[in-house]
């Protein structure tokens, strides 16, 4: 196994206990703007060869710390993880904006990389440098018995993200996922409209930004795509928006078919999701609210997508497993 030397000099020598048994630390960086993801798990352990301190790479799918082998940390970010560790233990590491000095006056101690993950869109080299530092900082804190001071991390921004963020491999969903992650509901609504129309085989007409749709167009949308779109909406809105929310509310209003004959159900639905105004007028695009203060089920706002669109999509939702 290749070893990567960790050259360090204690900036402020202190009497730290030497590593006797393995100690694990985890670091994770997620940026709210979607431009950064890094996740590293390290293990401090004695170097029984007694020839110095080294970084070792031992990330395997058999590690109990890794939930999904498809998104394991790979050697693609090995150099960045190594650089983050080197910066953290360097005596002049304070010059790095997102990495602060970690006291590491250990002799014959290895830092083994035993886990971590990658994001299909947002992984960035600098995020893995910071994540490696955070993992080391946590492990050293455990040895010391108290938490080291928090640095002013510019690369670490806490997010209001769902606990299980969906990882979507198909690139056609990436723009939609990014918009929803950033709470850019207006853009996400338009991306959803375009995606659904294109999935149905609709022909785009650029002069007025519309789609020409065939008879029974909605029934041509693959159910798997519809489920993925809905999962993204419901996940990032925490169940506040989504196609399945439309279906649930429509059923609660007594709807069964989804066509234009169920006037009472549609009026009830429109009132509930905020698509029908107090003067009983159905909303236009400029009336829609693109934030979480909107009523539950308000987005994606099918009402402004075109005449009869909401009925066609509702019939599809009621006929499927969404």
Predicted TM-score of the model (pTM): 0.52
- Quick one: how far is CA 294 from the chain centroid? 23
The predicted-structure confidence for 243-267, as pLDDT tens digits, reads as follows 999 999 999 999 988 888 899 999 9
Secondary structure of residue 28 in the 3-state scheme: strand
Split at pLDDT 50, 70, 90, the class of 92 is: low
Contact 275, 301 (CB under 8 A): yes
Q: How many helices (H) and strands (E) does the chain have?
A: 8, 7
- CATH number for the segment(s) 3-144: 3.30.230.10
Rg of the chain over all Cα atoms, to the nearest angstrom: 26
Residue in 100, 322, 103 with CA at minimum distance from that of residue 231: 322
Contact 105, 13 (CB under 8 A): yes
Backbone angles phi, psi at 49, to 5 degrees: -80, -15
Secondary structure of residue 30 in the 3-state scheme: strand
Domain limits, the chain = 3-144, 171-319
List the beta strands (DSSP E) in the chain.
Answer: 3-5, 23-30, 37-46, 54-57, 109-117, 203-205, 210-212
Instruction: Indicate if the pLDDT at residue 187 is higher than 90.
Output: yes
296-309 average pLDDT score: 92
Alpha-carbon distance of 34 to 97, in angstroms, equals: 20
The predicted-structure confidence for 123-165, as pLDDT tens digits, reads as follows 888 889 999 999 998 888 887 765 444 443 333 333 445 545 6
């Amino acid at each position: 196994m290749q070893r990567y030397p960790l050259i360090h000099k204690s900036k402020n020598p202190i009497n730290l206990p030497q590593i006797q048994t393995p100690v694990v630390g985890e670091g994770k960086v997620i940026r709210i703007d979607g431009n950064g993801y890094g996740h590293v798990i390290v293990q401090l352990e004695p170097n029984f060869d007694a020839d110095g301190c080294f970084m070792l790479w031992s990330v395997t799918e058999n590690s109990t710390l890794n939930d999904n082998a498809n998104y394991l940390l790979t050697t693609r970010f090995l150099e960045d993880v190594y650089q983050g560790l080197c910066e953290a233990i360097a005596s002049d590491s304070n010059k790095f904006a997102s990495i602060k000095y970690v006291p590491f006056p250990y002799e014959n101690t290895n830092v083994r990389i035993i886990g971590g993950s990658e994001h299909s869109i947002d992984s960035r080299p600098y995020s893995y440098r910071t994540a490696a530092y955070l993992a080391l900082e946590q492990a050293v804190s455990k040895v010391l018995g108290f938490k080291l001071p928090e640095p002013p991390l510019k690369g670490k921004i806490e997010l209001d993200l769902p606990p299980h963020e969906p990882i979507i491999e198909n690139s056609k969903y990436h723009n939609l996922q990014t918009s929803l992650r950033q709470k850019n509901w207006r853009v996400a609504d338009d991306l959803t409209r375009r995606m659904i129309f294109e999935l149905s085989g609709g022909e785009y007409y650029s002069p007025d930004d519309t789609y020409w749709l065939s008879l029974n167009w909605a029934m041509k949308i693959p159910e798997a795509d519809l489920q993925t779109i809905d999962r993204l909406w419901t996940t990032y809105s925490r169940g506040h928006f989504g196609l399945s929310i439309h279906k649930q509310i429509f059923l609660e209003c007594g709807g069964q078919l989804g066509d234009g004959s169920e006037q009472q159900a549609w009026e009830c639905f429109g009132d509930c999701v905020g698509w029908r105004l107090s003067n009983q007028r159905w909303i236009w695009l400029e009336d829609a609210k693109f934030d979480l203060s909107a009523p539950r089920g308000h987005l994606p706002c099918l009402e402004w997508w075109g005449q009869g669109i909401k009925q066609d999509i509702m019939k599809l939702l009621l006929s499927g497993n969404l």
